[in-house]
Amino acid sequence: MTLTRFWNKVKESPSGCWEWTGCLNKEGCYGVFWHNHKSYVAHRFLYESINGAVPEGFELDHLCKNKKCVNPNHLEVVTRRVNALRGKVGHRTGEIQKAKTHCRRGHPYDEANTYFHANGARGCRLCREIARNKWRQNHEVSN
């Protein structure tokens, strides 16, 4: 009965998305499905019905970028950070950061002064050296 009610609110599109046609959340982005007197986000309800619970600290990313899509093949379990970086905000933030030519203290992001973190973020060698020197001064062993 529950899955019949669910599928009555799904329409397959030519793109392969299974679009939710039922109620949407208050932002108008994600489908909402009621089951056993509880509200669920529709794509998560179907994903977890098929694959089991999404682990604590993770969420589902719509690889198709269609927030009304409930197709489990279009969803990937990722961290919130990864999901945000893949989204519009993360993409825009990345563009802003890449456009910067100097660090916040005014040192240039050039070949000699730039290093890269494991996550791809840039760092300023001069600022790192200043921070190291300051740490050393604060942690010198008294003789």
Question: Is the per-residue pLDDT at 94 higher than 70?
Answer: no
Q: Determine the pLDDT at residue 28.
A: 87
| Complete domains list, the chain, with CATH | 2-86 (3.90.75), 98-138 (no CATH)
Question: Is the per-residue pLDDT at 69 higher than 80?
Answer: yes
Average pLDDT over residues 122-130: 94
Average pLDDT over residues 116-142: 85
Is 116 within 8 Å of 122 (Cβ atoms)?
yes
Higher-pLDDT residue of 16 and 97 is: 16
Percentage of residues in the chain having pLDDT higher than 90 = 64
CA distance 60 to 41: 11
- Beta-carbon contacts of residue 137 (< 8 Å; ≥ 6 apart): none
Which of 7, 29, 26, 27 has the alpha carbon at shortest distance from 18?
Answer: 7
Average pLDDT over residues 102-129: 89
Average pLDDT over residues 36-43: 93
Overall size of the chain counted in residues: 143
Mean model confidence pLDDT for the chain: 88
